[in-house]
Amino acid sequence: MTSLLSENPNSYLIISVLIFSAGMFTVLTRKNILAIIMGIELMLNASALNFITFSFFRKSTLYSGHVFAILIIVLAAAEAVVALAILLAIFQQRKSVMTDDISDMKG
Amino acid sequence: MDQVAQYIWIIPAAPLAGFIINGLISFSWGAKSSDFHKKVSTIVSPLVILISFLVTLAVFIQMVQNPETNRIFSQNLYSWIKTGFIEANVNLVLDPLSIILVLIITGVGFFIHLYSVGYMDHDRSIIRYFAYLNLFTFAMLILVLGDNILLMFVGWEGVGLCSYLLIGFWYQNRNYAIAGMKAFLVNRVGDFAFIIGFFMLFWGIYHYEGVPTIAFSALKDVMGKMPEWYLTIVTLMFFIGATGKSAQIPLYIWLPDAMAGPTPVSALIHAATMVTAGVYMIARMSFLFIATPMTLTVISIIAAGTAFFAATIGIVQNDIKKVLAYSTVSQLGYMFLGMGTGVFTTGIFHLMTHAFFKGLLFLGAGSVILASHHEQDILLMGGLRKKIPITFITFLIGTLAIAGIPGLSGFFSKDEILWQTYITPNVYIPQLPHILWIIGLATAGITSFYMFRLLFLTFFGEFRGDEGALEEVHESPFIMTIPLMVLAVLSIFGGYIGMPEALGGSNHLHHWLSPVLSMKEAVEEHGAGHFQEYLFMGFSILVSLSGAALAYIFYILKPSIPKSIGSKISGLHQLVFNKYYIDELYHATFIKGTLGLRMLLNKFDQKIIDAFVNFVAVIVKAVSRVHGFFDRVVVDGLVNFVAAFTQYYSSVMQTWQSGMLNRYLYYILGSFIMAYVILRII
């Protein structure tokens, strides 16, 4: 099989780890909720890449990994819609999207 | 069952309807009632009694035609009380015994109602009066017709209530109201004994006979296993009940005071009907009484005592109604003497004749009282016979009847009682019949004496009242004299239905009653034919005549004699005149005793009950103090400790909950790392 794809999954997995780490770093360090949501999207896509990778290299005829990847894309879209809607509502009320300003739930 | 039986319900229902009509008129209009209302009342009242009488008469005619075995008519109206082992129906029974009473109540009652129309004409409460009188008739009919003891007791209490209402009819007069209360309270003593007797009887039937029933007709067949001592107590209790209602020693004291009521009431309730309820009750339960010779002996002794005792008081009374009242007590004594012999027909016979002649005498007295403008003192009367001739003649007939002059009703009934008293042996005291007979005979003489004294003082001699008062004396209207005449006729001929065989009669009454009464065989043929009976009749005629003759000498020929005798034995005279101070004795013993007991109980309440209550309160107070301390320190302390503990730790914990989103994310990450490390280590 001549293909652009490498015979080895390592490079795919390393890319996946890099994307996931970038997403997590974004989520942990940024105070802008919009940025946090973007981080989350990154993490989701990293996991989707992971699924595809393993599915492809294990030559599974069930294609469950593919199915999961598509499920995650749908989930990410839905999540983005809900999260952005909440964000919009918060912004309308507080004129801010910083997590420091939304600490009403503290004990 | 004969056709007429289904109309029995009308007999008590008619007076009840009369009561409701009169009661509603009286209640709605009261003092504002017009002449029209009065007219309605005076027509309705006697009319309903007449209806009852006619229905009774119809039943009576049917009863006479029926054979002896088929003379009990009953009508079951409804089931009244139905529990586990008691079953009381409202069942009305007309048998040869009760029909005599019903005929008297409705027949004599009708004429007394008529008389009342005249007598109470000017009273502004006449409608209320008729309401009470109709209610009384209803209650008395229930008493007589009731088939079981409970229903009889309803009537028994009902007549007591009406008696109270009518004695205190002119309640504006304090003394009259008190007389009503006295009658009610004294009756209550008797009624209490009646209730105890009833309860004991019921228990006894349940216990000994095992067939719980209270209907007379059923009881009669059931009795048999109950021991005599128990039955004696039961019957004695019933007899005490009878002494209350029928004014015997020791509960007779209410009857003379009951004369406070209107005179027709005295005639109907306190002479003809209600006071004879005790006699009727004994006859109704004859199957109990006949089995207890001890009770019969007690009845005889008390009856003879009452008859004699009351007659002696009657000699010295000056109030025309009081004389008749004591005479009633005395005659009731005669009836019980007849019942005490165990030959119950004699008592019922005298009950009947007494209803005629005593009703007549009371109505006559009422006519005299009305004629002389409410004067009741016979010492202020005299010579009235020409002014009120009809009253005089009828009163004379009544006097002759009660005195026992041969040929009139009183002679037959009284003589039969004396004869049966003499001839019935007593198992406990062999001489008792002779003693009782002598007392009875003496009483007959005294009765004759005081009745003729009353007659002579009222109608003969010179008028002793205020000058000019004689001119105003006038005869009563026809509506009052007609009842007098009817009752006079009955007083003359009423005795013939019970005429003894010795005088050529056939003693219808005895044969009539004997199927329904359990009693000793009347001793008709005794020893030497009728000779002894004739002799005894001779005795009583002699005694009666000598009593009358003595009265004639004392009050017509030599009016000075009574005074001189009175002054010679002034102590005795005072004693009798004051009724042997029995009222005072009761006042000093029972009433003072009750009041004293009340004070004692009050003291007991204050000193002991209250002290106990206070003691309990103090204890509770002390205990609650300790309890309160425990609550405050231990229970509250525990609760507060938990609260303070929670508060302290939550203040530590709350710093973790910063509300900062990033921090929470670090927590999550840290947790994951820790979980990973821990899982790795394990």
Evaluate whether A100 touches A31 at the Cβ level (below 8 Å).
Answer: yes
pLDDT band at B68 (very low <50, low <70, confident <90, very high): confident
Distance CA B472, CA B399 (A): 25
Residue B526 scores a pLDDT above 90: no
pLDDT in tens, B483-517: 999 999 999 988 888 777 767 667 788 888 888 88
Distance CA B2, CA B6 (A): 8
| pLDDT score, position A99 | 84
Q: What integer best gives the mean pLDDT of chain A? A: 87
Residue of A nearest to B650 (CA): A107
CB pairs under 8 A between A and B: 35
| pLDDT score, position A63 | 84
Residue A6 scores a pLDDT above 70: no
Residue B674 scores a pLDDT above 70: yes
The reply to whether residue A107 touches residue B660, judged by beta carbons under 8 angstroms, is no
| Whole-number Cα distances in Å, B156 to B93, B195, B520 | 16, 11, 27
pLDDT in tens, B384-393: 888 888 999 9
Q: Which of B672, B675, B658, B656 is CA-nearest to residue A24?
A: B672
Nearest to A107 among B654, B662, B669 (CB): B654
Indicate which of B654, B661, B672 best probes the interface with A, i.e. most A CBs within 10 Å of its own CB: B661
> Residue B665: its chain A contacts at CB < 8 A?
27-28
| pLDDT score, position A103 | 78
Indicate which of B653, B654, B664, B665 best probes the interface with A, i.e. most A CBs within 10 Å of its own CB: B665
pLDDT in tens, A96-106: 888 888 877 77
> Residue B669: its chain A contacts at CB < 8 A?
24, 28
pLDDT in tens, B293-352: 999 999 999 999 999 999 999 988 889 999 999 999 999 999 999 999 888 888 999 999
Q: Which of B526, B288, B297, B236 is CA-nearest to residue B426?
A: B297
pLDDT band at A1 (very low <50, low <70, confident <90, very high): very low
The reply to whether residue B665 touches residue A27, judged by beta carbons under 8 angstroms, is yes
pLDDT band at A107 (very low <50, low <70, confident <90, very high): low
| pLDDT score, position B190 | 92
pLDDT band at B523 (very low <50, low <70, confident <90, very high): low
pLDDT in tens, B560-590: 877 787 778 777 878 877 888 888 888 888 8
Neighbours of B680 (CB within 10 A): 7
Residue of A nearest to B661 (CA): A99
- Omega of the bond leading into B250 within 30 degrees of 0 (cis): yes
The domains of chain B are located at 314-320+329-577, 583-669
Q: What integer best gives the mean pLDDT of chain B? A: 88
Task: Name residues whose C-beta falls within 8 Å of residue B431's C-beta, 6 or more positions apart in sequence.
Answer: none
Most confident of B289-293, B328-332, B468-472: B328-332
pLDDT band at B134 (very low <50, low <70, confident <90, very high): very high
Shortest distance, CA B669 to any CA of chain A (angstroms): 9
Task: Name residues whose C-beta falls within 8 Å of residue B36's C-beta, 6 or more positions apart in sequence.
Answer: none
Residue B525 scores a pLDDT above 70: no
Residue of B nearest to A104 (CA): B659
The residue ranking higher by pLDDT, B262 or B219, is B262
Residue A30 scores a pLDDT above 50: yes
Residue B647 scores a pLDDT above 60: yes
pLDDT band at B101 (very low <50, low <70, confident <90, very high): very high
The domains of chain A are located at 11-101
| pLDDT score, position A5 | 65
Distance CA B113, CA B107 (A): 10
Distance CA B302, CA B246 (A): 12
Shortest distance, CA A86 to any CA of chain B (angstroms): 15
| pLDDT score, position B136 | 95
Q: Which of B521, B518, B517 is CA-nearest to residue B98?
A: B517
pLDDT band at A38 (very low <50, low <70, confident <90, very high): very high
Q: Which of B198, B283, B181, B282 is CA-nearest to residue B234?
A: B198
The residue ranking higher by pLDDT, B573 or A53, is A53
pLDDT band at A64 (very low <50, low <70, confident <90, very high): confident
Shortest distance, CA B637 to any CA of chain A (angstroms): 28
Shortest distance, CA B641 to any CA of chain A (angstroms): 23
* CATH for A11-101 (1.10.1370.30, 1.10.460.10, 1.10.287.3510, 3.40.50.20): 1.10.287.3510
Average pLDDT of span B653-658: 82
Would you mind telling me the total number of residues written for chain A in this entry? Answer: 107
The reply to whether residue A28 touches residue B657, judged by beta carbons under 8 angstroms, is no
The residue ranking higher by pLDDT, B527 or B156, is B156
Nearest to A99 among B654, B661, B669 (CB): B661
Q: Which of B317, B356, B350, B320 is CA-nearest to residue B332?
A: B350
Residue B639 scores a pLDDT above 60: yes
The reply to whether residue B660 touches residue A99, judged by beta carbons under 8 angstroms, is yes
